[in-house]
Amino acid sequence: MSELLDLDLDAIAQRLRAHDGKAMLRWDPAHDAMATDNAWLESIARWMTQDERDVHRHEAVVLALGPETGAVFGAFVHATVRGQAAGGLRYWPYPRFEDFLRDGLRLSLGMSRKSALAGLWWGGGKGIIVRKPDSPWRDPGYRRTLYREYGRFTTTLRGLYITAEDVGTGPADMSSVFETTRYVTCVPPEVGGSGNPSESTAKGVVCAMEAALDHTGRGDLRGKTIAMQGVGNVAAFMIDELVARAVAKVVAADISAERCDELRSRWPAATVELRVTDPRDRSIFAEPGDIFAPNALGGVLDPSTIPLLKAPIVCGAANNQLLDDGRDDRLLADRGIVYVPDFVANRMGIVNCANEQYGRLDRDPAIERHFGHQWDNAVFVVTKRVLTRAATDGITTSTAANLLADEACRVPHPVWGHRGRALIDALVADYR
């Protein structure tokens, strides 16, 4: 293990500042190892070579420092065989360098698999801006400076990574990114983009719920009870969809009293119960119902929470719901719980904005087909394919989804092939 992993992000910012404010790690196929030309990162390259949990031969990890804000930036590129790495830009605080690295690695891997299973000609990537505890992060002026900086950083990557909206980043922030780079999607409609993808993401997750119910012989959503952790933007749209499908009850827990108060008048109280809970309160996991939906941050399903579950199906919008997908998917399976892997269910955010450059249509058929039951790559169809393969082969649903996605990830872009490899080679000279 590298001692750098335990450093806080202020210490990493100091290291970056001492080395021209930038650094890069990349997978070296010739030596089957992660490599870097930045001597201070050599121990991290060795750690990433040896790690079997999250690295998965990531093609590149690029780090930089905001020139004015001093914020640490990251661009994580898992695979570019199917096309440029695409994925949202997360703005979040991290206590240690390892937490930052693991989150970026897991999220970009998930994006590769998500795009591949959705039939998109995109690779997997993720952007991160580290939120400094002492920064005026709510101030609009500061945020505009910060996101313009990240846009410039994205431009330096030569199109290897295409950024988009994610946790902590909103439409105004994406407008700021768009001011300094062309390599961005999910920009607001007023500048030609598709805007906030939360509604499409929510509809896709509900389609995955319907597939899981159908697979298990439980019918459709009518009359069902759904327990939810988190009522952010995506979750609120999910509740809209569930109420429209005549569910009997939604019980949703969130740590924000302000958010719950804001939403109480949106749905009938008899159908939707909103609970304000302490961050340490895990009672929502034990809520009886037909489906449990993790809609907050990742890593919530682990050996301490899985035994609490009373729902026979887990299907939600959060990324990386399993703390350890090589262990926790088996714990769920051993309890007879059908788990829909997050990247199977929550893909519609990237689908909604991935191909903005090809023009926008109201009720775009290229997007609407993901919500049906006929197209080979529809959410419902892919979810059932994953669950069926798991049952047929006697493997976990997470393993089945990973196998199907990784097979698709190895199919080269039909026009550009594996162009990302050449872009990384070009970046090596830029980051020396």
Tell me which residue has tokens 């749209």. Answer: 237
Angle in degrees, 0-180, between the axes of helices 379-393 and 198-215, rounded to the nearest 10? 40
Amino acid letter, residue 95? P
Total count of residues recorded for the chain: 432
**By CB neighbour count within 10 A (0-12 exposed, 13-18 middle, 19+ buried), where does 159 fall?**
middle
Q: What is the distance in angstroms between the CA of the first residue and the CA of the last residue of the chain?
A: 24
In the 3-class helix/strand/coil scheme, how is 121-147 assigned residue by residue? Answer: CCEEEEEEEECCCCCCCCCHHHHHHHH
For residues 104 and 61, is the Cβ–Cβ distance under 8 A?
yes
**3 state DSSP class of 421:** helix
Nearest to 114 by CA among 401, 389, 369: 401
DSSP state of 265: G
Tell me how far apart the alpha carbons of residues 146 and 163 are, in angstroms, rounded to a whole number. Answer: 14
Q: Does the CA dihedral 159-160-162-168 come out positive or negative? A: negative
Strand partners, 130: 92
Collect all residues with Cβ–Cβ distance below 8 Å to 42 and sequence separation of at least 6: 36
Residues 6 or more apart in contact with residue 354 via CB below 8 angstroms? 86, 115, 120, 122, 185
Distance CA 41, CA 25 (A): 8
Q: Active-site residue 22, yes or no?
A: no
Least Cα distance to 154 among 359, 427, 417, 408 occurs for 427
**126, 224, 249, 384: which one is catalytic?**
126
Q: How far apart are CA 99 and CA 83, in angstroms?
A: 27
Q: Distance between CA atoms of 396 and 373, rounded to whole angstroms?
A: 24
Tokens 């990247």 map to which residue? 343
> Could you identify the residue written with the tokens 């089945």?
400
Decide: 151 and 180 in contact? Cβ < 8 Å.
Answer: yes
Q: Which residues are catalytic?
A: 126
